[in-house]
């Protein structure tokens, strides 16, 4: 989920195998429980790149295909986006980012009858 080339290849393979993409469910996520000052830069990058960059990359490469068939995207966040437990500040930050990323889409994607 963190590597653009891998995500691009995954999407191309899905199109080759299935002929189209009708739904994208962004559900990858990791956490490392630590107090904020104990997180390392490696921890931060692993969590942010998996939880946020992964959603961005998968969405970037799926959206052109989804628009063709009026497909759907499901972004999985967490209650931690709004009600955080101790020792998960990085995870909670990414889950809040997922909510913001998803809300911003209504301005860049065609609206549906459900909105």
15: domain CATH number is 3.40.50.720
33, β-bridge pairs? none
SS3 call for 17: helix
This prediction's pTM = 0.85
Task: Assess whether 33 carries a catalytic annotation.
Answer: no
Q: Are 89 and 42 in contact (CB under 8 A)?
A: no
Counting Cα atoms < 13 Å in the Cβ hemisphere of 42 gives: 0
Q: Is residue 17 part of a domain?
A: yes
Q: Is residue 109 part of a domain?
A: no
Torsion of CA 74, 76, 81, 85, to 10 degrees: 170
Q: Is residue 35 part of a domain?
A: yes
> Which is catalytic among the residues 33, 39, 61, 91?
91
Q: What confidence tens digit (pLDDT) does each residue in 37-63 have? A: 999 999 999 999 999 999 999 999 999
Mean pLDDT of 68-91: 91
Torsion of CA 95, 66, 70, 98, to 10 degrees: 10
The tally of domains found in the chain comes to: 1
Range of the domain at 93: 4-104
> Which pLDDT does position 115 carry in this prediction?
43
**Structure tokens given for 95:** 């889950």
């Amino acid at each position: 989920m963190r590597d653009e080339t891998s995500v691009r290849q995954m999407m191309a393979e899905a199109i080759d195998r299935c002929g189209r993409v009708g739904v994208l469910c962004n559900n990858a996520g990791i956490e490392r429980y630590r107090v904020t000052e104990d997180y390392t830069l490696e921890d931060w990058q692993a969590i942010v790149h998996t939880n946020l960059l992964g959603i961005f990359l998968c969405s970037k490469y799926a959206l052109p295909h989804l628009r063709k068939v009026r497909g759907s995207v499901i972004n999985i966040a967490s209650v931690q986006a709004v009600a955080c437990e101790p020792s998960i500040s990085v995870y909670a930050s990414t889950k809040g980012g997922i909510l913001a990323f998803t809300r911003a889409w209504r301005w860049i994607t065609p609206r549906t009858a459900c909105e």
